[in-house]
Amino acid sequence: MKTALLNALAEAEAFPCFSELSSSDFTLLRDFSEYRGLALRLYTGSSGQPWKEFRLHGSADYNFDELYRLNIDPLPDKPEDLLIKEIAGEKYVTLISPYMVDGSHFADLLLLISADTRIGIKEWHFFADHLATRICSKFQFPLHLIRNQVESSDRLLSFLRDTQKMLNTSRQADALPPAPGYEERQAQLWFDEDSPMLTSFLLKLQRAFNFHTVFVLQHAGPDAYNQISVMAASETDGTSSEIEEMIEIAMQHYRVEKHATITKSSVFSANQEFSSNNLSPLVFACQAGGQTYGHLGFLMSDDNFKRHISHRSKLMPTLANQLGLYFSHYYQMRKEARHGRMLQQINQTCNTIISSVNIDAILFKLVESLNYLFGQYSGAILMFSRETNELGLSNFLGGEKPQNLDMDRLIHSKGPVIDAINEGSAFDNRNGHYPLPVRYVLPLATTPQATSFNTEFPPARSLGGVVLFESELNKPLAEEDLAKLMPILLNGMSAALQVASNYAEKLDTIKALEGLMERLSDSNKLLDEMIVIIRRLLKVNRISYLE
């Protein structure tokens, strides 16, 4: 019979993992005539009902307290008689064996056998102890109960696989056409697309590891962030504001674009029964390709904190990397969608304005495009005069100019700004190398410009330039916007300005020639008027007349 017990233990080694168990699933002891039933009591740590019970075969109609009670009065004469239980007129032996993990009581196994067994009680006790270890270890305890010394790599890999399935990348990405005030609508649209999945992801993570609060900051797209928090608190218990303040403090160490729109959401799960005191923040960067696309953070108790920062803790960084890949995928797709929308808008604007001969209308459209497409509200447009060929102020972009900037002095004194406009090249002062409240100078040229961002083309004389001031009103320009989109807009506008300028010049010449007819009787006045016309056509300041 001892051999039969050993064979049963060997078969128990191959018992599958389970979260639910029924009588039909348990057939290990089918060949033992003494076997009557088996009961398992396993700790889950859930609020309200921390223990989960499975009662199989003959024990199905009784709970643990009914099957095994030590408070019998009076006590029997022999200690082993404490194990004898009479049920429905039949005597049984009840053997209970605990399952311990790292010094913690995780489960109990109760074996119910007939009192007429041919195997000694001592042998049954040894068997029950080993069976408890083999069966209870196959139960899928909540992950937050399993300490890192005995964590199952299979369980963690299964958890990673389940979370990765949630990160669905099959959705399409799109961007709204640029328009006044579209930034907030665009950020809300992207938030509505991402929040259901991220909320489910955070809830799964919180429940699996019993975190008090889990939060994520996602760089959803250009100038847009999503921040979602799942906290074990009630919206009415007054602790949510404290938790949100802790999250804000934790995120102060991480760079968020100043002009970006952050859309926030909080979910109150209220499924943990512990205080929000003595919580520690832990934040992981979500990266892909060396770039950071968001952060995954936790507020946890000291025990959990030590567990997840040990040298063996690879799960949370792996989850952060999963999110980093997901975030980067949609960020790049939305960036390209936004690029396409802006390019479409620039082409429509340039195609519409190219037929205009009204210089003021073209300059108004340029200011509008710089405002709505690129978020530039503080700057000026400088243009060369057709009559005097001197540089002058044409328009402001709408916002306030820096207080320490003298526009007249800037225009009429030599310096890198005027040199760049005269040469038809760009000037980049983001590093503050020159003591000027100017961030960029971009030329208005009808040919592709030679800039510090793109030196493929030779410089060409420009019609003027756009000066962008160093101001909080101006959003930082991405390199792609600066090197590709901005030159397309300025080149198109420059072509329209050149057409309008040529038209105005021809119109002025025709009017001047018509005026010559009135001076045919006065040769001196006729000569003076002809010199003015020639100077304007040839764009020269001095003319020598030989008779």
Regarding whether 158 and 270 lie in a shared domain, the answer is yes
pLDDT for res 310: 59
pLDDT for res 3: 86
Strand partners, 221: 224
pLDDT at position 459 over 60: no
Regarding whether 306 and 256 lie in a shared domain, the answer is yes
Pairwise pLDDT comparison (514 vs 465), residue with the higher score: 465
Domain-located, residue 305: yes
pLDDT single digits (tens) 1-28: 678 888 899 999 889 888 889 888 898 8
Pairwise pLDDT comparison (275 vs 129), residue with the higher score: 129
pLDDT at position 119 over 60: yes
Please state the domain count of the chain.
Answer: 3
The DSSP element (H or E) to which 315 belongs, if any, is helix 315-353
Confidence of residue 65 (pLDDT cuts 50, 70, 90): confident
pLDDT at position 455 over 80: no
Domain-located, residue 521: no
pLDDT at position 103 over 80: no
pLDDT at position 148 over 50: no
pLDDT for res 333: 94
pLDDT for res 40: 93
CB 149 within 8 A of CB 102: yes
Would you give the distance in Å from CA 327 to the centre of its chain? 5
pLDDT at position 157 over 70: yes
Q: State which of 92, 119, 141 marks the end of a domain.
A: 141
pLDDT at position 239 over 80: no
Pairwise pLDDT comparison (523 vs 505), residue with the higher score: 505
Pairwise pLDDT comparison (38 vs 278), residue with the higher score: 38
- Distance CA(207)–CA(180), nearest Å, equals 42
The tokens of 325 are what? 């890949």
Nearest Cα to Cα of residue 469 among 334, 370, 541, 384? 370
3-class SS of residue 516: helix
Q: State which of 74, 109, 141 marks the end of a domain.
A: 141
- Close Cβ partners of 240 (under 8 Å, ≥ 6 residues apart): 231, 233, 234, 266, 268
**Neighbour count for residue 112 (Cβ, 10 Å):** 24
In the predicted model, what is the mean pLDDT of residues 147-174?
77
Regarding whether 98 and 53 lie in a shared domain, the answer is yes
Strand partners, 40: 54, 109
Regarding whether 371 and 245 lie in a shared domain, the answer is no
Confidence of residue 382 (pLDDT cuts 50, 70, 90): very high
Regarding whether 194 and 297 lie in a shared domain, the answer is yes
pLDDT at position 53 over 50: yes
Confidence of residue 458 (pLDDT cuts 50, 70, 90): very low
In the predicted model, what is the mean pLDDT of residues 427-443?
88
Regarding whether 172 and 309 lie in a shared domain, the answer is yes
In the predicted model, what is the mean pLDDT of residues 243-272?
77
Pairwise pLDDT comparison (419 vs 83), residue with the higher score: 419
Strand partners, 225: 219, 262
The DSSP element (H or E) to which 154 belongs, if any, is helix 153-166
Regarding whether 294 and 176 lie in a shared domain, the answer is yes
CATH of the domain at 135: 3.30.450.40
Strands (E), 289-390: 291-300, 379-384
Q: State which of 81, 106, 141 marks the end of a domain.
A: 141
Would you give the distance in Å from CA 387 to the centre of its chain? 54
Domain-located, residue 366: yes
pTM: 0.67
pLDDT at position 311 over 60: no
Specify the pairing of strand 261-268 against strand 224-231. parallel
Would you give the distance in Å from CA 32 to the centre of its chain? 59
- Distance CA(37)–CA(85), nearest Å, equals 13
> Omega into 476 within 30° of 0, i.e. cis?
no
pLDDT for res 193: 93
Regarding whether 303 and 158 lie in a shared domain, the answer is yes
Pairwise pLDDT comparison (508 vs 458), residue with the higher score: 508
The DSSP element (H or E) to which 5 belongs, if any, is helix 2-13
pLDDT at position 156 over 60: yes
- Distance CA(73)–CA(232), nearest Å, equals 45
**Amino acid (1-letter code) at residue 418:** I
CB 300 within 8 A of CB 280: yes
- Distance CA(221)–CA(184), nearest Å, equals 12
Regarding whether 455 and 318 lie in a shared domain, the answer is no
Confidence of residue 249 (pLDDT cuts 50, 70, 90): confident
pLDDT for res 110: 92
Pairwise pLDDT comparison (273 vs 52), residue with the higher score: 52
Domain-located, residue 533: no
CB 519 within 8 A of CB 529: yes
Q: Which residue has the tokens 């503080």?
A: 378
pLDDT single digits (tens) 318-358: 899 999 999 999 999 999 999 999 999 999 999 988 888 89
CB 295 within 8 A of CB 217: yes
Domain-located, residue 294: yes
pLDDT for res 457: 38
Regarding whether 173 and 130 lie in a shared domain, the answer is no
Range of 91's domain? 2-141
pLDDT single digits (tens) 74-86: 656 665 666 777 7
CA dihedral 26, 27, 30, 35 (to 10 degrees): -20
pLDDT at position 403 over 70: yes
pLDDT for res 135: 93
Strand partners, 110: 39, 96
In the predicted model, what is the mean pLDDT of residues 490-515?
82
Domain-located, residue 351: no
The tokens of 455 are what? 């030196």
In the predicted model, what is the mean pLDDT of residues 96-110?
86
Domain-located, residue 520: no
Query: To the nearest whole percent, how much of the chain has pLDDT over 70?
Result: 83
Domain-located, residue 502: no
Pairwise pLDDT comparison (397 vs 545), residue with the higher score: 397
pLDDT single digits (tens) 206-225: 877 778 888 999 999 998 99
**Amino acid (1-letter code) at residue 43:** Y
Regarding whether 111 and 168 lie in a shared domain, the answer is no
Confidence of residue 309 (pLDDT cuts 50, 70, 90): low
Mean pLDDT of the chain: 82
Question: Which whole-number Å values give the CA distances from 28 to 124, 129, 135, 174, in the listed order?
Answer: 15, 15, 11, 57
Regarding whether 121 and 160 lie in a shared domain, the answer is no
pLDDT for res 512: 72
